[in-house]
Structure 1
């Protein structure tokens, strides 16, 4: 899990294996062997790395991965910013990592701050089409379109910064949409910079003729130190 790997390295934990999607910090992960992705696990590679514990995320990783692991696992289940202090504190205790406990404490403090509008840099990369709006939708994929419901980590980040995602009555947390015609015109469409590279399709988005903007997906979805640094940058008490 990219956000976990980055956070553990920042906390001073000796990370000896990672997924192939763990790209930050680039100068450190380049020398750490990859042992699979978010849905597959290279058991032999994991054993060869000398890792003593495998940290997984219940939403991103799979149960078969956990069952396949030849070493003990610690499964995080981060669904909201409110889950972070306790989750990181528990992992810090298991790993004996005071640096991770410090990050947990920083998150606890961050949740007490009243942040200014999210729709400004660094979260806002650029407006694609400006216009009046009354509600917000966050999109992470195209072909098919995929959105994010409010009861997710991204949704909690949006709410923390004063822009809660609208409840469209979606049945799943990450619903697939046949098209955007079903979404009311008074909806601001936020296109995440990742995992889908919406930045390469700005003209197509502009052609929709809807209020829309490109936002920094890593800052809003990578729970851990990356989203924490982002919030620190918004914190009026630290300016």
Structure 2
């Protein structure tokens, strides 16, 4: 089956599972050696349908959290839209894709995800933060909650209603409570007392702005955003290594 994937996490997962991906977004950068010769048809928010049609795909793969509704409504070829908003939904969607593509490797990933869901939740350790990259300022006190930051100007965080939020909770972190329905709330850092900040390396490149962050005088760390936000094979490998030690 010829697939155009508009979801970076799925592109990597499908390729590693042996599915034929014939088109991708510019953000589909993994696995590096496997995506080199796969044509780019757009980004996660916009696409050239002419380029897609030229590739003669059997299916376009979308995700409700990654791609806008208009992309599905305008798609000129058959499409399948997943909805990954938590580890639970990831397990369900992997099983769905495994069945759709009749692919045992995807089904196996679904089982791995179930093992992760059933694993005990560890106690969060601020001295051993998963996917740690660099300190903004090491914690000088005990913190009860963390805020995972994804953007600047405005400052944006994530709630427990997101895939990232579910990953953090599975790792034992207690997230700042935001109003229900606000998945990516705009926040004011100076108003968030007794909060330790995790600054993601993507989509905003906080790791390249470490000097500016240090000037804020807040305590926090830079973490690898791919580990927390890329679902599918990358996220499962990260959690399996962290939680199951294998």
Per residue, is there more strand in 1 or in 2?
2
Distance of aligned partners of 1:237 and 1:129 in 2 relative to their CA distance in 1, 3 Å threshold: closer
TM-score by length of 2: 0.90
- How many angstroms does 1:114 deviate by? 2.5
Asked if the contact 2:152–2:204 (Cα under 8 Å) also holds between the matched residues in 1, the reply is yes
Instruction: Quote the Cα distance in structure 2 between the aligned partners of 1:168 and 1:150.
Output: 8
Question: How much does 1:53 deviate?
Answer: 0.6
* TM-score for the superposition, normalised by structure 1: 0.93
1:20 maps onto 2:26 in alignment: yes
The answer (yes or no) to whether the contact 1:118–1:124 under 8 Å persists in 2 is no
Aligned length: 236
Report deviation, 1:171. 5.4
Q: Give the C-alpha shift of residue 50 in structure 1.
A: 2.1
Q: 1:153-175, CA deviations, whole angstroms, 9 ceiling, x for partnerless residues?
A: 00000000000312033752111
Could you tell me how far 1:36 is from its partner in structure 2?
Answer: 1.1
CA distance, structure 1, for counterparts of residue 205 and residue 74 of structure 2? 32
**What are the equivalent positions in structure 2 for 1:1-239 lying under 5 Å apart?**
1-114=7-120, 116=122, 117=124, 119=126, 120=128, 122-130=130-138, 131-132=140-141, 133-169=143-179, 172-177=182-187, 179-184=188-193, 186-238=194-246
Q: CA RMSD in A?
A: 1.6
Moved more, 224-233 or 122-131: 122-131
Q: Is the 8 A contact 2:116 2:244 kept in 1?
A: no
Aligned residue number for residue 3 of structure 2: none
Q: Structure 1, unaligned stretches of length 5 or more? A: none
Deviating above 6 A after TM superposition, structure 1's stretches of 4 or more consecutive aligned residues are none
Check whether the contact 1:11–1:103 (CA below 8 A) recurs between aligned residues: no
